[in-house]
């Protein structure tokens, strides 16, 4: 079903003034009829009882709002744009998601505090559909990455309604539908990536290992999530403008272990750098001693000197020098 925009003139004020004038005339006729024409009194009373019906066709819209109307069960059309409109008084506004609120915390729940009309003390939600750009801050989910590690991740989705007819008639509740599709798309994409760069992992589907990861390729992952959500909500008349990862971390049950793993990897990398530097310094020291002919060392003395220098350069603590006051040999 496609949206049909009603090109209704903004004639609500004219109709309202006309109804008021009609009531004034009927009231005058009713008073005159009491004194002289009883039949006129009955006719005016009957018309006054029906004159309220056109009031049901008066609709007020604010900027970036729309109203989907049905007439005797069939889709009648959609009015858009701010103004005071008059439509067929028998048209009924439809919005299944009127009482559903996509909270900024990510929870889909029945709206509390939505302003609307009140009948017998019961508050009615507005049937108007917002065309504004809105944000769904989806709740954090625990998902296993491609390596099976549990990861907690949350996304913020920016969206808006582009086709009101699809949003109302193609799905039961377009807000709940959007939230569910966000959860599904998030799981489908996150399970293709490791949390951090891992060898022999293909994240693009081209059959070649790459360096893609949730932590290092957050922009690429977010764009794939947006495309996945958009493909799912096209039938609901919703446009996904943007999607951003707002939270990413290992699940608490393995966070400590993965932190130790990262610390161990960092220590190994640091030790490797220290050893490479120490070996270079020892080579430089031996070459300088040889070039300047400071001392002539045999292989055994060179080995002892290399051992001592490596201990000094690679040790965790400051070396305690021992002064040899005797002969070198």
Tell me the per-residue pLDDT of 176-209, one tens digit each, with 9 for 90 and over.
999 999 999 999 999 998 888 878 888 887 878 8
Better-predicted residue by pLDDT, 319 or 135: 135
The predicted pLDDT at position 67 comes to 92
Do 209 and 304 lie in a common domain?
no
How high is the mean pLDDT of the chain?
81
Residue 43 lies in a domain: yes
Confidence at 48, pLDDT banded by 50, 70, 90? confident
What's the CATH code of the domain at 138?
3.30.479.30
The predicted pLDDT at position 201 comes to 83
Rounded Cα–Cα distance for residues 170 and 97 (Å)? 13
Do 83 and 40 lie in a common domain?
yes
Domain that includes residue 300, residue range:
260-314
Residue 117 lies in a domain: no
Confidence at 141, pLDDT banded by 50, 70, 90? confident
* 71-95 pLDDT tens trace: 998 999 999 988 898 888 899 999 9
> Which residues in 310-321 are b (16+ Cβ under 10 Å) and which e?
eeebeeeeeeee
Q: Are 195 and 250 in contact (CB under 8 A)?
A: yes
Residue 184 lies in a domain: yes
Do 195 and 279 lie in a common domain?
no
Overall number of domains in the chain:
3
Residue 187 lies in a domain: yes
Residue 119 lies in a domain: no
Last residue of some domain: 250, 277, 304? 250
* 87-133 pLDDT tens trace: 888 999 999 888 887 764 444 555 444 444 444 333 346 789 989 99
Do 11 and 71 lie in a common domain?
yes
The predicted pLDDT at position 125 comes to 60
Do 159 and 246 lie in a common domain?
yes
Q: Are 235 and 170 in contact (CB under 8 A)?
A: yes
Residue 255 lies in a domain: no
Q: Is 24 helix (H, G, I), strand (E, B) or coil?
A: helix
Residue 243 lies in a domain: yes
Q: Are 2 and 77 in contact (CB under 8 A)?
A: no
Q: Which residue has the tokens 């893609």?
A: 212
Do 236 and 158 lie in a common domain?
yes
pLDDT at 210 exceeding the cut of 50: yes
Strand 83-86 and strand 122-123: pairing? unpaired
Do 137 and 245 lie in a common domain?
yes
Do 180 and 200 lie in a common domain?
yes
Residue 230 lies in a domain: yes
Q: Are 243 and 155 in contact (CB under 8 A)?
A: yes
Handedness of CA 280, 282, 287, 292 (dihedral sign): positive
- The model carries a pTM of 0.70
Do 143 and 70 lie in a common domain?
no
Do 136 and 212 lie in a common domain?
yes
Do 241 and 279 lie in a common domain?
no
Do 241 and 135 lie in a common domain?
yes
The predicted pLDDT at position 124 comes to 46
């Amino acid at each position: 079903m496609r949206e049909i925009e009603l090109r209704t003139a903004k004639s609500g004020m004219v109709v309202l003034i006309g109804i008021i004038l009609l009531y004034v005339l009927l009231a005058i006729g009713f008073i005159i009829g009491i004194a002289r024409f009883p039949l006129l009194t009955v006719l005016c009373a009957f018309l006054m009882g029906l004159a309220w019906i056109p009031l049901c066709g008066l609709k007020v819209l604010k900027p970036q709002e729309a109203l989907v109307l049905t007439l005797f069960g069939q889709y009648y059309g959609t009015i858009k744009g701010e103004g005071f409109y008059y439509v067929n008084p028998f048209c009924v506004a439809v919005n299944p998601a009127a009482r559903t609120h996509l909270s900024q915390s990510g929870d889909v729940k029945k709206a509390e505090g939505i302003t609307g009309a009140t009948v017998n003390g019961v508050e009615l939600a507005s049937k108007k559909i917002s065309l504004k750009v809105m944000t769904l801050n989806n709740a954090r989910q625990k998902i296993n990455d491609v390596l099976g590690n549990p990861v907690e991740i949350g996304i913020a989705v920016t969206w808006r309604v582009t086709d009101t007819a699809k949003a109302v008639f193609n799905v039961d509740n377009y807000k709940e539908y959007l939230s569910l599709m966000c959860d599904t798309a998030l799981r489908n994409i996150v399970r293709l990536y490791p949390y951090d760069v891992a060898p022999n992992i293909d994240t693009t589907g081209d059959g070649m290992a790459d360096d893609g990861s949730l932590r290092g390729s957050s922009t690429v992952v977010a764009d794939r999530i947006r495309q996945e959500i958009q493909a799912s909500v096209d039938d609901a008349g919703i446009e996904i403008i943007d999607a951003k990862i707002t939270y990413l971390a290992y699940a608490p049950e393995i966070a400590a272990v993965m932190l130790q793993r990262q610390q161990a990897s960092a220590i190994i990398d640091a030790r490797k750098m220290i050893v490479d530097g120490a070996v270079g310094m020892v080579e430089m020291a031996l070459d300088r001693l040889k070039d300047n002919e400071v001392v002539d060392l045999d292989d055994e003395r060179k080995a002892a000197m290399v051992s001592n220098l490596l201990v000094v350069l690679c040790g965790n603590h400051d070396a305690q020098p021992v002064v040899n006051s005797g002969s070198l040999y």
